[in-house]
Structure 1
Amino acid sequence: MLTVDYDRLDVRAGHTVLDLGCGEGRHAFEAYRRGATVVALDWGTSEVTTTQTWLGAIDAAGEAPAGAVATAVRGDLLHLPVPDASVDRVMASEVLEHIPDDATAFAEIARVLKPGGRVAVTVPRYGPERVCWALSDEYHANEGGHIRVYRAETVRARLRAAGLVPGGSHHAHSLHAPYWWLKCAVGVERDTAVVRAYHRLLVWDLTKRPWATRTAERLLDPVIGKSLVVYADKPA
């Protein structure tokens, strides 16, 4: 399940791509398959281990083109282990809402980008996220949880303050918004029949990509898309 549009981010073979807060690697995998040199970074040891395992599996299956390289490393978004102006593309997907000093994280993204490089930042969208917060403290008020809700203009302001030029944006994952509203309403950790049924729908959509759900999500994304995606460039 990809949040970033790789065509808008313009990921190409030979690019150096940094995936920040990679989780279990979903965005890193696609960049690797496109022939990039990928560094997937996360603070969590288990996330880094899982991502490295799957990157190895992609290589073993021959799914990455010749010349593509990928690795997963543990690191801090406030002190990226990457030289200045060394990265063509950066992805920071669903991670900045967890970081108290997000201004420094944005500055680090700008530091490591090459002139002419591009970043895709994705965060929970303001409206759907506020519904989750209103329904449940358990959803966000925990160690490592969401500490802020971004408006689109706040993301753009952070990017401009870091010296980047915000460009286009879009929303994604509208089918996931009601799922999280439901979980927040019944209890985030409660496994009810309705929650299980909705989860099966999401898995079916993810694996089968049926026309009906793909069309519904495309139409609903501008209205209740759970994620906001903003692209920005570093001046050449």
Structure 2
Amino acid sequence: MLSFLRKLTAATPAPVAAPVAAVTPVAEKVDPFMLGLHDAQLSGWFNEETGELYKGFPVSADDIVIDVGCGDGGNMQFCGRRGARLIVADIDGDKIEQARQRLSETPARSVECHVTDGNPLPIADGTATRVVSTEVLEHVDDPAQFLAELVRVGQSGALYLLSVPHPSSEDLQKDIAAPAYYEKPNHIRIISEEQFKTMVSDAGLEVISHSQYGFYWSMWMLLFWEAKVDLSNPDHPLLNHWANTWQALLSSPRGAQIKDALETVVAKSQVIIARKP
């Protein structure tokens, strides 16, 4: 359910999206998912120039990258374009097959796929130089066990890119979202900033940075619940006007400054970059 929020790169374009026009007519429909990708790039995701999947998380052809909870492989598509060796794992076999097909079209050194619940991961100790797991910990029954497996498969010095929903957005939606959104197999816990940092540190990783982003998606989701439309075709005036408004804001002279200010108040996700000693 709502897996697009877990993997923002479902249709990640290779180049950074070009700036939009200064004024967007309200009548012109904006693709909310492509706008979300552009917004994510502004927050530090998918930087083709620096080779960073996320700010502070560079990927090169020399890396062995594991993505646990990979979905259909959006994040790893970026890593594949860098020429890295890729290992993907997810509990959903259909998603893994989609990831396999997508990643086979990249210049990745190799692609290895696993259907698994992560307990344990069918991957040898000390395999990866980079470990990715985005928007997964809020779903799993035992976060400590899950993190222990992520740590086990990383080499000494490996970098970790981990994210979970930010509590500001989760709390905002609690009384508005569909009840199933906060029931298994969806979000069974809300993780505070301090809890997230403690989880990662207790797993034996050194936290390098902790950031947050995604005001656009937080507001979009709030309106989505009210619009009561199908996610495959989220066409509703509330959502269309919001996407147009956000695109116009990003095009304004102080759009980036306003975006940053809003994301300190309400963010869709929090991201930790960590290192294995």
Which category of TM-score, normalised to the shorter sequence, fits these structures?
0.7 to 0.9
Deviation at 1:6, TM superposition (A): 3.2
Tell me if structure 1 keeps the 8 A contact 2:223–2:239.
no
User: How far apart, in 2, do the equivalents of 1:148 and 1:50 lie?
Assistant: 28
Q: Which residue of 2 aligns with 1:86?
A: 127
Percent identical: 24
Q: Which residue of 1 aligns with 2:221?
A: 180
How do 1:53-64 residues align onto structure 2 when only pairs under 5 Å count?
53-56=101-104, 58-59=105-106, 64=107
Q: What SS does the aligned partner of 2:175 have?
A: helix
User: How far apart, in 1, do the equivalents of 2:191 and 2:229 lie?
Assistant: 22
Tell me if structure 2 keeps the 8 A contact 1:179–1:198.
no
Q: Could you say if the C-alpha distance between residues 182 and 19 of structure 1 is closer, same or farther in structure 2, counting changes exceeding 3 Å?
A: same
- Pair 1:197 & 2:240 matched: yes
Amino acid at match of 2:54: Y
Tell me if structure 1 keeps the 8 A contact 2:224–2:239.
no
Deviation at 1:110, TM superposition (A): 1.0
Residue of 187, 192, 195 corresponding to 1:151: 192
Q: Which residue of 1 aligns with 2:160?
A: 119
User: How far apart, in 2, do the equivalents of 1:116 and 1:170 lie?
Assistant: 21
The two structures have a TM-score, normalised by structure 1, of 0.83
- Pair 1:140 & 2:181 matched: yes
Deviation at 1:189, TM superposition (A): 5.1
Tell me if structure 2 keeps the 8 A contact 1:90–1:109.
yes
Tell me if structure 2 keeps the 8 A contact 1:125–1:150.
yes
Structure 1: any 5+ residue segments left out of the alignment?
Answer: none
Residue deviations 1:4-51 (CA, integer Å, cap 9, x gap): 553412222211101111111111101111121111211101111111
Tell me if structure 2 keeps the 8 A contact 1:139–1:188.
no
Deviation at 1:70, TM superposition (A): 2.4
- Pair 1:32 & 2:74 matched: no
Q: What SS does the aligned partner of 1:232 have?
A: strand
User: How far apart, in 1, do the equivalents of 2:228 and 2:88 lie?
Assistant: 32
Residue deviations 1:127-146 (CA, integer Å, cap 9, x gap): 11111122224352344110
User: How far apart, in 1, do the equivalents of 2:255 and 2:60 lie?
Assistant: 26
User: How far apart, in 2, do the equivalents of 1:134 and 1:68 lie?
Assistant: 46
Q: Could you say if the C-alpha distance between residues 139 and 133 of structure 1 is closer, same or farther in structure 2, counting changes exceeding 3 Å?
A: farther
The two structures have a TM-score, normalised by structure 2, of 0.72
Deviation at 1:183, TM superposition (A): 2.0
Residue of 104, 109, 128 corresponding to 2:169: 128
Q: Could you say if the C-alpha distance between residues 11 and 165 of structure 1 is closer, same or farther in structure 2, counting changes exceeding 3 Å?
A: same
Determine which structure has the larger helix proportion and give its number.
1
Amino acid at match of 1:103: A
Residue deviations 1:49-76 (CA, integer Å, cap 9, x gap): 11111112x33xxxx2xx6222332122
Tell me if structure 1 keeps the 8 A contact 2:220–2:239.
no
Q: Could you say if the C-alpha distance between residues 120 and 75 of structure 1 is closer, same or farther in structure 2, counting changes exceeding 3 Å?
A: same
Q: Report the RMSD for the aligned CA atoms in angstroms.
A: 2.6
Q: Could you say if the C-alpha distance between residues 218 and 25 of structure 1 is closer, same or farther in structure 2, counting changes exceeding 3 Å?
A: farther
Amino acid at match of 1:77: G
- Pair 1:101 & 2:149 matched: no
Q: Could you say if the C-alpha distance between residues 17 and 143 of structure 1 is closer, same or farther in structure 2, counting changes exceeding 3 Å?
A: same
Residue of 43, 51, 64 corresponding to 2:99: 51
Which is worse superposed, 99-108 or 67-76?
A: 67-76
Tell me if structure 1 keeps the 8 A contact 2:177–2:222.
no
User: How far apart, in 2, do the equivalents of 1:93 and 1:199 lie?
Assistant: 25
